[in-house]
Structure 1
């Protein structure tokens, strides 16, 4: 429920007249009594009765209402103190108590407080989708039981062999061929050590 208001017209039509816009109010929190002044000024007294008295409070009890103006009377309600509806009455008096109106008030428990974890303020991080290469590596390691580090060394060896072969083919010297042999020997030794 949203913040609630109830209006009582003061001195509309005759002196010391009170006319509530509604005789009942249901709320789940604090509300306001609006005293709408009409032809002449008035002193208005407000008070709470019943169980409403134990969970609600008025800032003051006596109010001066000017003609053609609205005086707002805040009524603070502590809904944390209740677990089920509380009934009571708001009484509005004028003319030194000669005229009064009563508004039945029912206070229902508000929605429960929700504890918000600080982690909710952080944006959600989703894992990025694996690339085709990562999916292929995952399948190979799952099927053969090969570790990804071993696959990385193997891939590096293939790259080294490719570069050495292309270099030897383009240069064509005996030193380049000896370098290719060294690279092949290094890759073979690395594979033997990794696969043991």
Structure 2
């Protein structure tokens, strides 16, 4: 039974009589004990017994209950501090202990706190569309060429292009031999990467 209020009738029908509305209670939050006065005033003592006293508190133990009045007794419960149910009793006494009732109380663990930061209020960012270069690299990688091989291939083509432009500008047999050396070096590097 989950609830936040429990009523105990005091002096209903006879002096020093106690009647409880429920004999057991399952809670995960603070509860209020309502002492409902009837024919005559009374002094009522409330206490926690068993393991309940480790997870619950009562502000004070003794209460004066007016006839036809209601006295609220707040019982604080710290269910967040436990990982498994805790059992105990709430004992209510009157007539200097001559009359008593008890309520079996089970405190169940509370729901864990979930930290929510401001990033949850922002829309999720999608990945940007791939560029033409990214698409070309992905297609070549699917063929079996990794990005390092592609980088060497690009640098080799740039080196051959620069050598050819230099040979065309300078002219002569020595420039042609230089271009041939660059082309052979590029071919050897490409062969070693691909095999």
Query: TM tier, shorter chain?
Result: 0.5 to 0.7
Alignment size in residue pairs: 135
The structure 1 segments of at least 4 consecutive aligned residues displaced by more than 6 Å after TM superposition are: none
Q: How does 1:19-168 map to 2 (within 5 A)?
A: 19-120=19-120, 122-124=121-123
SS at match of 1:124: coil
1:50-70 Cα shifts (integer Å, max 9, x gaps): 000111110000000111121
Which runs of no fewer than 5 residues in structure 1 stay unpaired?
A: 128-137, 146-196
TM-score normalised over the length of structure 2? 0.62
TM-score normalised over the length of structure 1? 0.62
Which runs of no fewer than 5 residues in structure 2 stay unpaired?
A: 137-195
SS at match of 2:68: coil
Whole-angstrom CA distance in 2 between matches of 1:66 and 1:37: 6
CA contact under 8 A between 1:45 and 1:63: conserved in structure 2?
yes
Cα RMSD (Å):
2.6
Whole-angstrom CA distance in 2 between matches of 1:32 and 1:119: 38
SS at match of 2:116: coil
What residue in structure 2 maps to residue 170 of structure 1?
none
1:111-169 Cα shifts (integer Å, max 9, x gaps): 1111112222x353777xxxxxxxxxx99x69x98xxxxxxxxxxxxxxxxxxxxxxxx
Shift of 1:3: 5.4
Instruction: Tell me: CA distance 1:2–1:23, structure 2 relative to 1, closer, same or farther (3 Å).
Output: closer
Whole-angstrom CA distance in 1 between matches of 2:37 and 2:119: 52
1:73-113 Cα shifts (integer Å, max 9, x gaps): 01111112210000000000001111000000000001111
Shift of 1:21: 0.4
SS at match of 2:109: coil
